[in-house]
Amino acid sequence: MPRQPRLDLPGIAQHIVQRGNDRQPCFFADIDRMRYLQELRELSLKLSVAIHAYVLMTNHVHLLLTSQATGATSALMQSLGRRYVRYINDHYRRTGTLWEGRYKSCPMQDETYLLRCYRYIELNPVRAGMAADPADYRWSSHRCNGLGQADALVQPHPRYRAIAADELRPAIYRRFVLDAIDPGETAAIHLNLQQHMRWAMTASARLSKRS
């Protein structure tokens, strides 16, 4: 049975999570992360998908993005997955799958929640014990969003822009990221992702029965 298309609407930010197969690494060296970001930027420009925040961990990726056309996010993730797997298999002379099934996605309907998602994504290396400060981790959007450093991949969401004027925004956002987090916030984001995935699977099953 063919897979049903995801709900992928223009103008709605989405939190994307893609994991390595069986929680195994999907990045083996810095050159791999560079290649992934290069492919992501090329496809985001081609498909008019704005990347607001990201982090590349050892065995998974988080993205916060907004597409301008229906289906553009799915097209981006499918093309990115194929390109990157081809690169990894060629570079390391390996075969087989790299990703753990389909990526997870969750739409951001609440703009307050959206900024918390920014923070959740950029604090991943800190929670994992890979950095003491999110600014110390090279492979995320925090140096751009929190320090104002240039990053050709990142396009700010209007909610992020609304924090303050350009010259003040990074410092204010960085304080927001470094503030003590409600212990329930991370759990709530995890739960929201899981609930949305269950809802999407149920909706797809219903559509399949009707077709």
Q: What is the pLDDT of residues 11-32, one digit of tens each?
A: 999 999 999 999 999 999 999 9
| Contact call for residues 173 and 163 (beta carbons, < 8 A) | yes
**Total domain count for the chain?**
1
Q: Give the C-alpha separation, 84 to 140, whole Å.
A: 18
CATH number at residue 38: 3.30.70.1290
pTM: 0.86
* Tokens of residue 83, six digits: 């390109």
Name the more confident of 61 and 113. 61
2 found inside a domain:
no
CA dihedral 125, 123, 52, 74 (to 10 degrees): 60
- 1 falls within a domain: no
Q: How far apart are the first and last CA of the chain?
A: 11
Q: Could you give the CA distance from residue 105 to residue 7 in angstroms, rounded to a whole number?
A: 9
Query: Can you give the pLDDT at residue 202?
Result: 44
Q: State residue 199's pLDDT score.
A: 45
Does 3 reside within a domain?
no
The residue range of the domain holding 197 is 14-210
Give the pLDDT of residue 161.
97
Residues 136-195: tens digit of each pLDDT:
999 999 999 999 999 999 999 999 999 999 999 999 999 999 996 666 666 666 666 665
pLDDT tens digit sequence for 80-135: 999 999 999 999 999 988 999 889 999 987 777 899 999 999 999 999 999 999 99
